Structure 1
Amino acid sequence: MAQIKVYGIDTHLNPIKEQLSAVIHSCVVEALMFPEDKKFHRFFPMREENIFYPSSRSRAYTVIEVMMIEGRTVETKKRLIRLLFERIRNELGIQAVDIEVVIQEAPAYQFGFRGMTGDEMLLDYKVEV
């Protein structure tokens, strides 16, 4: 399981939400080997006065938080980050300087979905990749 949160300035983020979601999902499917139908994204468009960022960033400044069950290798997580930078730049024109990615992990027993904890679930994909 991976939950994705995306933060950015509303006037920039709202028009690209659907395309950005598709790009992020393609990276998650490839790097984490997720099934195509496992897509859990939430967008948090913010008014410009509610988001502070360095003057070296543009209004395209975007923060992507990935929360997932622990078990992926360091290389898998690095691959996900690299894919996000590359595809977001290539498909949406947002430069790497305007993208921040953070991956947070927790043990499976700290996730709850479909009425069970994550360690009780039989997942249809591998976590140890």
Structure 2
Amino acid sequence: MIVIYGIKEELNPIKAKLSDVIHGCMQSVLGFPEDKRAHRFIPMDRADFYYPGGRTDAYTVIEINMMAGRQIETQKNLIKSLFQEIERQLLISPVNVEIIIKEQAPHQWGFRGMTGDEVNDLKYKVNV
């Protein structure tokens, strides 16, 4: 599950394209299948979204929640790929993007009526 936060006037017009960019990176780096897209956009009022100095209203926060198991280099490759593709395709400078990966143990995930450690039919690998 990926949650994306930003100022609504900046985020709303690019939601579809940003979702495509994020999913493309998830596919190329993590091997996600086409139908494995779970993105939640949280467009915020400017008054409710404080961000660090040196950023613009394009500042966007991307939280990636995933089951633990990806190697450090794989996670770093994902982050770098996101910075690069967001800048290339959406013209948002990396200084205006913050990416956080939050890992949880498989037993802490619940989907399709079971926990992540019980699943044996995923169409992608977690330990990459």
Question: TM range, normalised to the smaller chain?
Answer: over 0.9
Q: Which residue of 2 is the match for residue 128 of structure 1?
A: 127
* 1:57 partner amino acid: R
Match of 1:40 among 26, 38, 41: 38
Residue 75 of structure 1 and its aligned partner are, at CA, apart by 0.5
Compute the TM-score of the two structures, normalised by the length of structure 2: 0.97
Specify the alignment match of 1:23 in structure 2: 21
- Which of 67, 92, 95 aligns to 1:94? It is 92
Amino acid at match of 1:126: K
Work out the percentage of aligned pairs sharing the same amino acid. Answer: 53
Once the two structures are TM-superposed, the CA of residue 76 in structure 1 deviates from its matched residue by: 0.4
Query: C-alpha displacement at 1:124, in angstroms?
Result: 1.8
Partner of 1:7: 5
| Structure 2 residue 96 is matched with structure 1 residue 65 | no
Q: Cα RMSD (Å) of the superposition?
A: 0.6
TM-score, normalised by the number of residues in structure 1: 0.97
Aligned length: 127
